[in-house]
Every structure is written in C-alpha cells, then in structure tokens.
Chains A and B, each alone.
Chain A
Amino acid sequence: MKRLGAYWLMPELFEPRIVAFFCNWCTYLAADLAGTSRIKYAPNARVIRVMCSGRVDPQFVLEAFAHGADGVLIGGCHPGDCHYQEGNYSALRRFQLLKHLLKDMGIEEERFRLEWISASEGDKVRAVINDMVEKVRALGPLRKYPVVGGPLEEVAAYG
C-alpha cells in the first residue's frame, strides 16, 4: 500500500500514473530543459523516448491503458517543426482516430492527450503534466474496481 493502487480502500491515496511518449527532438529535450532549469512538476509521468511522435503506434497507447496507466500523453514537435518533416502529422491523425475509439471504450477524453512542446518550452512540460495529473486525479483511477489477477493482488504483494 506504499504508493499506488490501494485506492479502492482509500481513494485519497490515488496517484495517477501517466505514460508519456516524448519525441527525441522536441518534447524530450523540453523535458531536459525543464530539468536544467530546475522547473518542478508532478512526479506522476513516466517518459518513454521515441524518435518521433509518428512512431507512437496506437497499440502503445492501448497497451499502456491495459497495463494500468491512468493517462497517456504524447509529446511532439509543433506543426511544421518535425525533425522528420511530417511525423507529427501522422501522430495527430492517429490521435484523432484513437481518441474517438477510446471514448467509445469508456476512457474519458482527459486521459489521452497530444501536445506540441518544442525544445525551448521547458515550462510547458511542467504546465501540461501538472494539468493532466490534476485532471486525471479528478477522474479517479481508470480501473474503478479490482480485477481478478489484476493490480489489487499485485498491490497486496507489494505490501
């Protein structure tokens, strides 16, 4: 019960878990800049580096939700700034489609987000992650009840 998951018993312990896919050239560097600028933000996001936001396969997003993420964030270069010319447009198109699909599956819109964050926008990393964490916190955990063989038992094991 140290940190996550035991919120079925104690909702105030809920800490949202966000998986963030950041592109190597803009958003990952923005997060690095946030670091060198010592900008403080919520510790709930786990960044997975991809070369381009266009590499984010919709399956990655589904996999993250399936494994217990409460939110998924994709960060890419601003339109026109893609290091690979147009990978972020692919990301945008997939995002739009997937957003509708997720909604139909009962996953609230606030749980899935695409943001353009350039390498100079360290403060935007803070703003986006803090905002998303708060919104997802307000929604509560994605899994509203324990699943057999799911996180609850893992949590029990975790102590």
Chain B
Amino acid sequence: MSPHDESASPVRVGVYVCHCGTNIAGTIDVHDVIAFSAALPNVALAREYKYMCSDPGQELIRKDIQEYNLDRIVVAACSPCLHERTFRHATEQGGLNPYYFQMVNVREHDSWVHTDKRAATQKAKDLIRAAVRRVKLHRPLERRRVAIKSEVLVVGGGIAGIHAALTLANAGKHVYLVEREPTIGGHMAQFDKTFPTLDCAACILTPKMTAVKSHPNITLWTLSEVAQVQGYVGNYTVTVRRKPRYVLEDLCIGCLECIEACVYKQAKVPDEFNLGLSKRKPVYISFPQAVPQVVVIDPETCIEFKSGKCKKTCVEVCGERNAIDFQQKEEIKTIEVGTIILATGFEVFDARRIPYYGYGVYPNVYTALEAERLTNASGPTGGEILLRDGRKPKSVGIIHCVGSRDEHTNRYCSRVCCMYSLKLAHLIKERTDAEVYNFYIDMRTAGKAFEEFYNRVAGGGMYLIRGKVADVCPAPNGDGRLMLQVEDTLLGMVRKIPVDLVVLATGLEPQKDAQEVRRLFNIGCSTEGFFLERHPKLAPVNTFTDGIFLAGCCQGPKDIPDTVAQAGAAAAESLALVDAGFVELEPNTAHVLEEVCSGCRTCIPVCPFQAISFVHEKNKAEVNEVLCKGCGTCVAACPSGSMQQNLFEDQEVFEEIGGVLAYA
C-alpha cells in the first residue's frame, strides 16, 4: 500500500512560495523560507515568485516539472479555497497527476493575521515542512464524473429569482420557481418608482412576471416552500411543500368576482402587500398585477374555515368554474434538479428596534417601504401622500441609516437607502410641495448615474442636513407635529425641526429564517447573516456547496441593477454546469483496505449518508463512492485502520502533524 515505491528514485518535490505582492512578502521573510525549504529532505527545487497564481507563475510550475523532473508540487500562497484548483491544474498541465499537489496557506492563516515577522516566518516554515512531508505520500487520484440533471430550481420569486428563471428558461432549461407568497414580484412589486431613472417599478417588473407565468419551460409554484434538499451537485432531490390556496389555479380565471361577493361587505383584514395601510377580505389577490392571476383564501380569517357556516357566496358567484375548493390540502412535490439558485431576498429592518424614533408609537412615523406604498398610484391612497388623519403633510423629515451603520443594530451600509431616500424626497416634494428634510450621515450615491440623480433632485428645493437624528417626539407646542432633534454637523449646532411626517429609511436585513434556509441548503452565512458567497470578488454568486448559487439581496444588500446582474450571473454559472452534461466530483472519498478490515461494522452507523454497506460473503465493509461525500468520520471511527480517505489518509495526516511540530 506504499504510495511511493521506496526502492525507486526518491520523490522530488518542488516548493513555490508566493509573495502575493507584499501581502505575504511584507510579513514573511520569503528568502529565508526558500533557503529553509531548499534544505528539506526530498525538496529538489525551491522558488519564490511575486504572483504564483498569475500565468507566468503557473508556467513556472509547468516548466519546472519537465526540466527538473519534479514529481510533487507544494505551493505556499493564499487559502486553498481560492487557488487550490488553479495550482492543481498547473500541476496537471505539467504532466503530473493533479493530486500530487499540496497547498500551504501562508496568507490568510499567516501573513495577514500576524505582525511578528519572525514568528510568521517560522510558522510558514513549519507549514511548508508539513506539506512537503505529506505530499510525498500523495497518490494519483481520478475525479469521478457524474451525469448532471438539466433542471434548475430557483428559490424566491423576486426580481432576482424572476430574472434568473427567465434567463435559464430562455436557454431551454426547465426551471422550477418556488415562491413562498401567493404571488411573485417580491419587494420590487411594492415599490413605486425606481432610482435613478424614476421609471415605474411595475412597468418594468410586471412584463417579466407575466413572462414567467407563460413560459413553457418554467413551472411556477407559489405559496410553496422547500422542505428538504438531498443529493449533491448535479443530482439534487428537493421536496417542496405547496400550501393550499383553496382556489384551484387551473380553474380560476382571475375575474375577482368572488372578492366582490364575499360575505364580508367591508374589507377588515390588514393587507400584507400594503403593509397594513389598507384592508383586504379573507378572499383576496395581493395586488392587481399579481402573478398568477389567481385569488387566494386566507383560512385564518375566512368564516367558512372558522365556523363552517358561511353562506359561501364566493362559491355561488364562481358558479360553473368551480375554482374554489375549501377541501384543498397541502401537497408535497419531489423534484430532481441539477443546480439550485437561491434568491430569497431580504427583510426590512424593524424600525421598532430603535425606540427613540417612535415608530409604532407616533402614527405619522412611516417606514420607507410604507412611504413607497403611499406614493404608489395603485397603493392604499392612490398615490397621495397623506398623514394618518387624511391631511396632506406640509413638512416631511426623512431619517437615513435606520438600522444601518449603527453599532447597536447593523454595522453595514444597506447601500440603497440614500438613493431611495432621495427618490422619496423628490416624489414627496413633487406631489405635496411640502418642505422635505433629509437627515444623513454620509450621502452614498455610488453607481451609474446615481451622483447625477443626487445633484438633480437635491437642487429641487429639499433640505439636506448632515447629522444623525437623536430623537423624535411630539412638538412641545401641542400642534400635533413631530419634533426632530439633530446635531447639524456642518453648522456645528443642535437643531430642532418640526415636521408633519417622518419617513425612516430602514435598512435591509437577512430574512428571519435565513439560518434555517442556510441549513436546508447546506451553505454558510456571513457575520451579518446574509448567505456567504464562495469568494467576495472571484466567485460572488457561488457558494461553498457546489451547484448552489446566490442571487440578489439574500447575499447582501444591493439595488435592482446589481440584483439583476447577479441573477444573470447565477443563471450563467448554473448553465455552465448543466450544459457540460456531467460534473466532476472531488476524489476525497473513503475506501476500505480489505486485507485489514475485520468486518466489525463500526463504520456503518457513523456514516450520515448510508454510503457504507456490509458484504456478508467477504465479511468486509464496502463504500459506495457515489454516496460518499468524503467527510472521513468513518475513517476516524475505524479501529483497525482499514478505512482510509483519499487525500486525508491516516499516514498523510500523521506526516503533517509531525511536520508542523518538527524542530528542523
């Protein structure tokens, strides 16, 4: 089982240390490390280079393998998560098996986290020594090829999910679009106008929504949630829970007569789509352009569900169409897909968490999304900006950074608030001619045509006050207005400004259930709770789980142009996988050394994937390589050492341990 025949000529290792500009070389004495590496047993060549990942850097490896007859490669550079593939590829191009390679992380784990140059240099040496000792034992491995399913699942029907689904469907792939709400459209459908062009959100969104519904390659499931995800890249089995709508989608024609006929003559239930600013009936449609154009019955408030004694005027008026079905049950669907795009969006920051702004206490404090609904022509006020008592405001204060850039709530910038605040200020000014104040910390208008928009609308007679509002309280003269107290940092004085209406520019937060969703799809979250991309720059739509991609605000706050761009990128990445027709899997699976296996079966119950079976005839365990995901738990459990994991064989790890601890 010796991976290298000792009788043959000794292994010749090439060690390469990357400077990464000054990222590594600024902290680690690379010359010293090279001198040290060159003296290690089996090292035939040790070189340094400014940027190993660049083409000349890779070329160096390719040429040296030939010229110096190298048969193992060690590269000390950045994290293997970034460039392991790059250097394995270079090793392969040099004529070696790509797994005759070991990467040493001396940037993220060393030069970037230590300031003591001597200690950092010593750490680099220890890690390189370990890698050289381990790589000697590497065996040639083959990547397994598995056929990939061409269907794609898109989770979330906001603009990101819609755009990704349409892109894939247009490329001829079958897409399942799963949306939790009764309609697709997401937050964008709630907006009035979109910055910086001020085109109406509905005008650009609803045609895409309709296209989703009518596209032959898209299966749209609303009121549905993903319940379970199994499998691996190219072969995911997904269980989707379809909640009952109590209206048969195929039979409802969207005439909305049932809403008119409902025994509730007045709408009494707070309307979710309008954020409670208007009322709806138990049978309703989210908004006039909802897709699918199908009503939905809310069992929580429908009399038939509560008492079973309703006159069911809705069923009467529906007549022969017979679209209403109070008996509808939850449906479980199982689909098989090759890749998954997560576009689950964001949640608006709950303004109640900042009590001194008085949201929920003072009626005329609105969130920005509520203000969007007020300005929207199909919103609860028909596009009029009104106070709760129906009057028009004469002065409006917009407070920026509510739940953003604040160490008590969220430290990050939500990226869209400055721009949408300027937009709302402009729209409010235009429709009410009120005095509009913007209270900002910094005005952040980075984006194509954003600064121009800022200059244009700011010149339109609004007040811009640099300062964080400290308090919102009723005006002391009792005229019903609200008093904003703020330190104007440009004037250097505290100001008290009375306004009729306050708009809180609430930030963007991860969805409340982002953690559960993350577990469901086996991906990670960043510190803020948004889904974690594989690399912030080079793989912004990939996740650490192959075949699962991200689009839109579930990955972090972003505006509509960026969301659509990212959705397109996620669709393209998905296509690149699906169109290849097969996927290559890492070979780090477990295998049994039959001559050592005693058939004790300790390994079988520890495998979470049921990949290990017991072969009675041979009295040995056996690993199904397709099911094995390469965690190595069985290897650690095996008492005889007969279970081994490719790339993480016991002996390889022992060499690594000895390597980091050796003194010379």
Q: In whole Å, how far is A128's beta carbon from the nearest beta carbon of chain B?
A: 13
Complex Cα–Cα for A41 and B112 (A)? 10
Q: Which of B272-280, B482-490, B630-638 contacts A (4 or more CB under 8 A)?
A: B630-638
Q: In whole Å, how far is B259's beta carbon from the nearest beta carbon of chain A?
A: 43
A135 within 8 A of B: no
Report if A43-B123 is in contact (Cβ < 8 Å); known contacts: A51-B588, A52-B632, A87-B631: yes
B620 within 8 A of A: no
Q: Are B113 and A46 in contact (CB under 8 A)?
A: no
Q: Are B663 and A25 in contact (CB under 8 A)?
A: no
A32 within 8 A of B: yes
Q: Are A64 and B657 in contact (CB under 8 A)?
A: yes
Q: In whole Å, how far is A99's beta carbon from the nearest beta carbon of chain B?
A: 16
* Nearest neighbor of A22 in chain B, beta-carbon distance: B109
Q: Are B650 and A57 in contact (CB under 8 A)?
A: yes
A56 within 8 A of B: yes
B122 within 8 A of A: yes
Complex Cα–Cα for A38 and B110 (A)? 10
Q: Are B657 and A32 in contact (CB under 8 A)?
A: no
A158 within 8 A of B: yes
Q: Which of B242-250, B320-328, B519-527 contacts A (4 or more CB under 8 A)?
A: B519-527
Contacts of B109 in A (CB 8 A): 31-32, 35, 47
The contact of B632 among A15, A48, A55, A154, by CB within 8 Å, is: A55
B22 within 8 A of A: no
What total count of A-B pairs have CB within 8 Å?
166
B450 within 8 A of A: no
B114 within 8 A of A: yes
The contact of B664 among A84, A126, A157, by CB within 8 Å, is: A157
Contacts of A154 in B (CB 8 A): 662-664
Complex Cα–Cα for A68 and B126 (A)? 13
B119 within 8 A of A: yes
* Nearest neighbor of B126 in chain A, beta-carbon distance: A46
* Nearest neighbor of B522 in chain A, beta-carbon distance: A83
Contacts of B81 in A (CB 8 A): 28-29, 32
Contacts of A48 in B (CB 8 A): 130, 653, 656-657, 660
Contacts of B438 in A (CB 8 A): none
Complex Cα–Cα for A48 and B134 (A)? 11
Contacts of A136 in B (CB 8 A): none
- Binary interface encoding of chain B residues 115-131 relative to chain A, with 1 for a CB under 8 A from any of its CBs, else 0: 11011101100110010
The contact of B115 among A19, A31, A40, by CB within 8 Å, is: A40
B474 within 8 A of A: no
- Binary interface encoding of chain B residues 614-633 relative to chain A, with 1 for a CB under 8 A from any of its CBs, else 0: 00000000000000011111
B190 within 8 A of A: no
A67 within 8 A of B: yes
Q: Are B524 and A43 in contact (CB under 8 A)?
A: no
B412 within 8 A of A: no
Q: Are A56 and B636 in contact (CB under 8 A)?
A: yes
Report if A35-B663 is in contact (Cβ < 8 Å); known contacts: A51-B648, A119-B524: no
Q: Are B664 and A81 in contact (CB under 8 A)?
A: no
- Binary interface encoding of chain B residues 337-376 relative to chain A, with 1 for a CB under 8 A from any of its CBs, else 0: 0000000000000000000000000000000000000000
Q: Are B657 and A19 in contact (CB under 8 A)?
A: yes
A103 within 8 A of B: no
B381 within 8 A of A: no
- Binary interface encoding of chain B residues 519-539 relative to chain A, with 1 for a CB under 8 A from any of its CBs, else 0: 100101111110010001000
The contact of A86 among B532, B608, B630, B658, by CB within 8 Å, is: B608
Q: Are A63 and B654 in contact (CB under 8 A)?
A: yes
Q: In whole Å, how far is B163's beta carbon from the nearest beta carbon of chain A?
A: 27
Contacts of B536 in A (CB 8 A): 36
Complex Cα–Cα for A60 and B656 (A)? 10
Report if A87-B544 is in contact (Cβ < 8 Å); known contacts: A52-B633, A55-B633: no
Q: In whole Å, how far is A75's beta carbon from the nearest beta carbon of chain B?
A: 12
Q: Are B637 and A90 in contact (CB under 8 A)?
A: yes
A101 within 8 A of B: no
Q: Are B664 and A31 in contact (CB under 8 A)?
A: no
B80 within 8 A of A: yes
Contacts of B126 in A (CB 8 A): 46
Q: Are A38 and B112 in contact (CB under 8 A)?
A: yes
Q: In whole Å, how far is B59's beta carbon from the nearest beta carbon of chain A?
A: 27
Contacts of A140 in B (CB 8 A): none
Complex Cα–Cα for A122 and B118 (A)? 23
Report if A4-B657 is in contact (Cβ < 8 Å); known contacts: A43-B119, A87-B631, A118-B524: no
The contact of A54 among B116, B519, B545, B636, by CB within 8 Å, is: B636
Complex Cα–Cα for A48 and B606 (A)? 23
A137 within 8 A of B: no
Complex Cα–Cα for A85 and B610 (A)? 12
Complex Cα–Cα for A94 and B587 (A)? 26
Complex Cα–Cα for A145 and B279 (A)? 80
Residues of A105-130 contacting chain B, CB below 8 A? 118-122, 126
**Could you list 18 examples of A-B contacts with CB < 8 Å?**
A32-B81, A35-B109, A39-B113, A43-B110, A43-B122, A47-B127, A55-B648, A56-B636, A57-B636, A69-B661, A84-B609, A85-B608, A90-B636, A118-B525, A119-B525, A120-B527, A154-B663, A155-B663
Chain A residues within 8 Å of B, Cβ to Cβ:
3-5, 15, 17, 19, 25-26, 28-29, 31-36, 38-41, 43, 46-52, 54-60, 63-64, 67-69, 80-81, 83-87, 90, 94, 118-122, 126, 151, 154-155, 157-158
Starting from the known contacts A32-B105, A39-B113, A51-B632, 5 additional A-B residue pairs (CB-CB under 8 Å) come to: A29-B524, A38-B112, A47-B127, A51-B588, A94-B636
Chain B residues within 8 Å of A, Cβ to Cβ:
79-81, 105, 107-110, 112-116, 118-120, 122-123, 126-127, 130, 519, 522, 524-529, 532, 536, 544-545, 588, 606, 608-609, 629-633, 635-637, 645, 648, 650, 653-654, 656-658, 660-664
